[in-house]
Amino acid sequence: MSEADRDARNNGKPGTKTGASGKAKPAGPKSAKPKFAKPMSAKPRFAKPGPAKAAGKAAAKAPAKAGAGAAPGAGEAKARKKPTLPPVTAKPEDFSGGEIETGRLLFARPWTFRIGVPSLTLVPPMQGIEIAMAGRSNVGKSSLINALVGQKALARTSNTPGRTQELNYFRPEGEGTDIALVDMPGYGYAAAPKDKVDAWTELVFGYLRGRQNLKRVYLLIDSRHGPKDNDLEVMGLLDKAAVSYQVVMTKADKVGPKGLEAAISATHEAIARRAAAYPRIVVTSSEKNEGIDILRAEIVRLVAGN
Cα angle at 168 between 100 and 260, to 5 degrees?
50
- Domain containing residue 240: CATH number: 3.40.50.300
Higher pLDDT, 13 or 292: 292
Summarised one tens digit per residue, pLDDT across range 20-58 is: 444 444 454 444 444 444 444 444 444 454 544 544 444
Q: Please name every residue paired with 198 in a beta bridge, in sequence order, or none if there are none.
A: none
Q: Please name every residue paired with 172 in a beta bridge, in sequence order, or none if there are none.
A: 111
Tell me if 21 is assigned to some domain: no
- Cβ neighbours for 148, distance < 8 A, ≥ 6 positions apart: 107, 181, 292, 295, 296
Tell me if 197 is assigned to some domain: yes
- Cβ neighbours for 221, distance < 8 A, ≥ 6 positions apart: 135, 136, 139, 227, 231, 247, 248, 249, 250, 263, 267
Tell me if 25 is assigned to some domain: no
Summarised one tens digit per residue, pLDDT across range 204-241 is: 888 998 899 999 999 999 999 999 999 999 999 999 99
Tell me if 39 is assigned to some domain: no
Domain that holds residue 291: 97-304
Instruction: Compute the half-sphere exposure of residue 79: CA atoms within 13 Å on the CB side of its CA.
Output: 5
Helices and strands: H and E segment counts in the chain: 9, 9
Amino acid residing at 43: K
* 3-class secondary-structure state, position 306: coil
pLDDT given for residue 222 in this prediction: 97
Tell me if 219 is assigned to some domain: yes
